[in-house]
Structure 1
Amino acid sequence: MSVMEQRYRAVLEVEAGCPVTEVAQRYGVSRQSVHAWVRRYRAGGLAGLADRSHRPRECPHQTSASVEALVCELRRSHPRWGPQRLAYELGRRDIDPVPSLATVYRILVRNTLIVPGQRRRPRSSYVRWEREAPMELWQLDVMGGVMLADGRECKLITGIDDHSRFVVIAQLVVRASGRAVCAAFANAMHIFGVPSEVLTDNGKQFTGRFTKPRATEVLFERICRENGITARNTQVRSPTTTGKIERWHKTVREEFLAAHEPFASVRAAQDALDAWVADYNTVRPHQALDMASPAGRFAARVRGGEAAVQELALRLPADLAALPGLCAPTGEASDALVAEAVPVAVEVDRVVPPSGNLTACGRQVWLGRARAGQQVTIWASTTTMCVFLGEDLLKTHPVTLTGTDLGRLMAVGGRAGRPAPAIALPSGPLAADAVVEVDRMVNNAGCVGLAGKLLSVGVPLAGQRVTLRIDAQTVQVIAEGVLVRTRPSPLTPSQRGRLHGARLAQRPNAAVGRFPTVERVVAGNGTLMVAGCKVQVGQVHRGKVVTVVLEETRFRVLFEGEELSEHPRTIVKEVNRLRASGHIDYRI
């Protein structure tokens, strides 16, 4: 018999007068079940004995529809908020009780606002660490990906306090050089004080332990050593060691960069970033801090430690120290103040180190070990740096300096500079018709480097130092005062103005010395090949060893000082052979 038939028989026996206790014992159920069958039969007949659902009619602790709707609304307004942030926001809106994180997660899954994925590695499996108080450790790094409207990519120098997650450095720079990193680090220490330790990766801006051929101390390590800061580096290829700063980089990309179009300028990007960082530090709750703001933790540091920091003066190199009377060396007001306080050009004396490699204005200038110990004068403007030995000009380099940089040179013993040399690059963009000169060493393949490109000037010049005179269309190769080759110029005016060692040509339109000559043997048919051109001299001169003068627009053929013929030069090609070969006397 089916279960329903057994219930029906039991009800019939009770209705016939049998005791409920005996019926329950006979069918193997409780007395309460028999009473329930009887009530259901009397209320609904035979259909009342069918199986019913065991689902409860109501759930007192079920999340209300209004709370679920609020969770969905917050999630749609802020797609990056997860269960923890949503639960925090519900608490701020006086929802009582606040649903658990699992409940919020199920609400998001049920309304298709989140895609359930595989369970991640549990947090308990990670080795988590954190300093006990603020200012004990800063994590520093450099991040890319900040794009400008003109296509340039800026770098972001970042620093975060390990204990409080307070962002202490967020500085945008065009080029993340070691000096730029140190300047941002020094500015943060001026504002917040000196940390006990810093943790970085193994970038060349932070450490020189991997420098070849031997390890050396970089500027960042020197600043840490002189200020009693313990500089720590991660193991190679271990980004999880600096996980806090790496995780902040992800937040910057997803919350700041994704919400902005490419910025018009570096200043516009910096202003927007400063506003966002201020909100991150003071308003935005942080999940790792139990939804507290980083500023709340950072401001709670021990006052005794703060006083101890102030007892020791911050020790910085002279060119990184703050100018007297300026509290914000990167602001517009301070730039205007410096522009009024410093001259157009500044001179400062330096002594050549034993290595012969002098560092000035952010550039390394090779002067040679023979000049070690000599005092030279550095002349610097916003575009050009010149090195003088007395009145003799030794080196010229293009630089990009600001009024603040010149003000720092004045603060460390500088003086007003002499009038600009005639070869100094003008301020502002280089004119399209300007002619510049650079000196280059020709490598074994006969090439020189220009703006990251290789320009072939000829294998015969390998190992020689040549002067390249560059205008809008051509590059003239000058060796020992002689024009030896002319090549098409691959550079734009802006690239010409940024060449290493560039200077204005003193005589851009003057003829350069004599023209190079080569020797050739006239073939039996009266022709010869020179610079990729076939020149017809005449069979009457076959077998003769002639001299060909390579001018810019023509060839002149000479024999024993007498000019035989003149031919137009239609091809600009390298000359790899200067002497005649294969001499055959056809006159026999």
Structure 2
Amino acid sequence: MSHRNARLTVHGRRLLVERVSSGRPVAHVAAEMGISRTTAHKWVRRFAAEGDAGLHDRSSRPRTTPHRTPAATEAEVCRLRQERKLGPARIGPILGLPASTVHRVLTRNRLNRLAFLDRPTGQVIRRYERERPGELVHIDVKKLGRIPDGGGHKVLGRQAGRATRSSMGFDYVHSAVDDHTRLAYSEIHSDEKVATCTAFLLRAAAFFQAHGISRIERVLTDNAWAYRKGLAWKEALAHLGATGKLTRAYRPQTNGKVERFNRTLIEEWAYVRAYTSNDERTAALDDFLHSYNYHRCHTALGGQPPISRVNNVAGQYS
């Protein structure tokens, strides 16, 4: 496995093979590249047997694991987890297993976090990702209480903040997230009526187009009235050449990417600090979106921001 101080990367191994193939002695090439003759011969043999694929690192996982927990026992661990939602410390004594073994079994079967399960049924939530940008865009609205001038309860304290906030009303944060790239676009409005949702959709489409996603094919939303019955909404979808899709009732996991974005929005923008006015919080949204799209690491994208995937693949489908 390559590491930061490795003598040979995949590119270096190709150079090694090319130099040996040109007729130069293996010992001379090995000395130039700072490796042993044994290592040089190993990569030459692998290239001869497997071609370019042989120059890539192989998995260090053993071919067989004699002491692995029996399949029947693993199935029982998974059953107790899904049916009774028990943790390793509870499942272990029932089956006579160490808690650490139970945890490894749960991790291997992607059951180590209850968030991976649909709580009522215990079924594993199947994660999905569309193959190309614009194939599916998730849209949702997050409702936030407005902040009075001078600040709310985070600035003034719980009791004083409640008194000043009672008649402030709400902001509605409309957000759109591309399923493949996770590129996000948000706006703050005073309602979630059909006209507002429709105008937001058209501006979101223009935003995605400006970033190389030329066409939206499907739009996934919850079952709010504006998305189900709004004539203007359906006309906007037709204008974009997109198909509207609705989640199953009471199944926010289906629209999970924008739901997760809403959580990030709350943690890293809305509640990240004590704002002294609603305008101050509103003004901070653009900075958050720029950071999210261009700089924030995303675990689903290999630690890269959404714009990196847009730059890599959007042009292929434009």
1:206 — aligned with what? 227
2-structure distance, mates of 1:289, 1:305: 19
Corresponding residue number in structure 2 for 1:180: 196
**Paired letter, 1:135:** G
Partner of 1:229: 242
> Which consecutive residues of structure 2, in runs of 5 or more, have no partner in the other structure?
1-99, 101-110, 118-123, 150-164, 210-214
Q: Would the alpha carbon gap of residues 159 and 119 (structure 1) be closer, same or farther in structure 2, given more than 3 Å must change? A: same
SS at match of 1:240: helix
Of 189, 208, 218, 1:197 maps to 218
Aligned ranges 1:332-371 → 2 under 5 Å: none
Partner secondary structure for residue 133 of structure 2: coil
SS in 2 for 1:206: helix
In structure 1, the residue matched to 2:179 is 162
What is aligned with 1:483?
A: none
Asked if structure 2 preserves the Cα contact closer than 8 Å seen for 1:284 and 1:293, the reply is: yes
CA deviations on 1:540-567 (whole Å, 9 max, x unpaired) are xxxxxxxxxxxxxxxxxxxxxxxxxxxx
Q: Return the offset for 1:184.
A: 1.6
Tell me whether 1:121 sits opposite 2:137 in the alignment. Answer: no
Q: Is the contact between residue 132 and residue 317 of structure 2 (CA under 8 Å) also seen in structure 1?
A: no
Q: What's the counterpart of residue 14 of structure 1? A: none
Partner in structure 2 of residue 285 of structure 1: 297
Q: Which structure: greater strand fraction?
A: 1
Q: Does 1:259 pair with 2:272?
A: yes
Shift of 1:222: 1.5
1:111-510 equivalences in 2 (<5 Å): 119-121=112-114, 123=116, 125-149=124-148, 151=165, 152=168, 153-167=170-184, 169-193=185-209, 194-208=215-229, 217-262=230-275, 264-266=277-279, 268-303=280-315, 305-306=317-318
In 2, the alpha carbon distance for the partners of 1:143 and 1:237 equals 16
Structure of higher CA gyration radius: 1
- CA displacement at 1:127 relative to structure 2: 1.0
Q: In structure 2, do the counterparts of structure 1 residues 299 and 237 end up closer, same or farther at CA, with 3 Å as the change threshold?
A: same
Residue identity over aligned pairs, in percent, reads 26
Contact 2:172 2:188 in 1 (8 A): yes
The verdict on how the C-alpha distance between 1:262 and 1:206 changes in structure 2, with shifts beyond 3 A counting, is farther
1:149 touches 1:262 (CA, 8 Å); kept in 2?
no
Distance in 1, matches of 2:311 and 2:282, equals: 24
Following superposition of structure 1 onto structure 2, how do residues 545-584 of structure 1 map, counting pairs within 5 Å?
Answer: none
Are 2:176 and 2:186, in contact at CA under 8 Å, matched by a contact in 1? Answer: yes
Q: Deviations over 1:234-259 (max 9, x none)?
A: 11111110011111111111222222
Q: Is the 8 A contact 2:133 2:317 kept in 1?
A: no
Who is 2:33 aligned against? Answer: none
Structure 1 contact 147–262 (Cα < 8 Å) conserved:
no
Q: How well do the aligned residues superpose, as a CA RMSD in angstroms?
A: 2.3
Aligned-pair distance for 1:146?
4.6
CA distance in 1, matches of 2:199, 2:281: 19
Q: Distance in 1 between the 2:116 and 2:190 partners?
A: 37
- Greater relative contact order structure (CA < 8 Å, 6+ sep): 2
Aligned to 2:10: none
- Residue identity in the other structure for 1:147: R
- Alpha-carbon distance in structure 2 between the residues aligned to 1:276 and 1:122: 26
Q: Conserved in 2, the CA contact under 8 Å of 1:196 and 1:230?
A: yes
Q: CA deviation at 1:119?
A: 4.5
Name 1:387's counterpart in structure 2.
none
What is the CA–CA distance in structure 2 between the aligned matches of 1:197 and 1:161, rounded to whole Å? 10
CA distance in structure 1 between the partners assigned to 2:115 and 2:226 by the alignment: 35
The question of whether the paired residues in 1 share the 8 Å contact of 2:216 and 2:240 is answered with: no
- Cα distance in 2 for residues equivalent to 1:203 and 1:263: 32
Q: Which amino acid aligns with 1:173?
A: H
Q: Within 2, Cα distance between the matches of 1:301 and 1:119?
A: 33
Matches within 5 A, 1:19-30: none
Q: CA deviation at 1:304?
A: 5.4
Count of aligned pairs between the two proteins: 180
What are structure 1's unaligned runs of at least 5 residues?
A: 1-101, 103-117, 209-216, 307-588
Paired residues of 1:164 and 1:298 also in contact (CA < 8 A):
yes
Whether contact under 8 Å (1:286, 1:294) holds in the other structure is: yes
3-state SS of 2:283 partner:
helix
Q: How far apart, CA to CA, are the structure 2 residues paired with 1:154 and 1:122?
A: 29
Whether the 8 Å CA contact 1:146–1:257 is kept in 2: the answer is no
Task: Give the whole-Å Cα distance in 1 for the aligned partners of 2:125 and 2:240.
Answer: 33
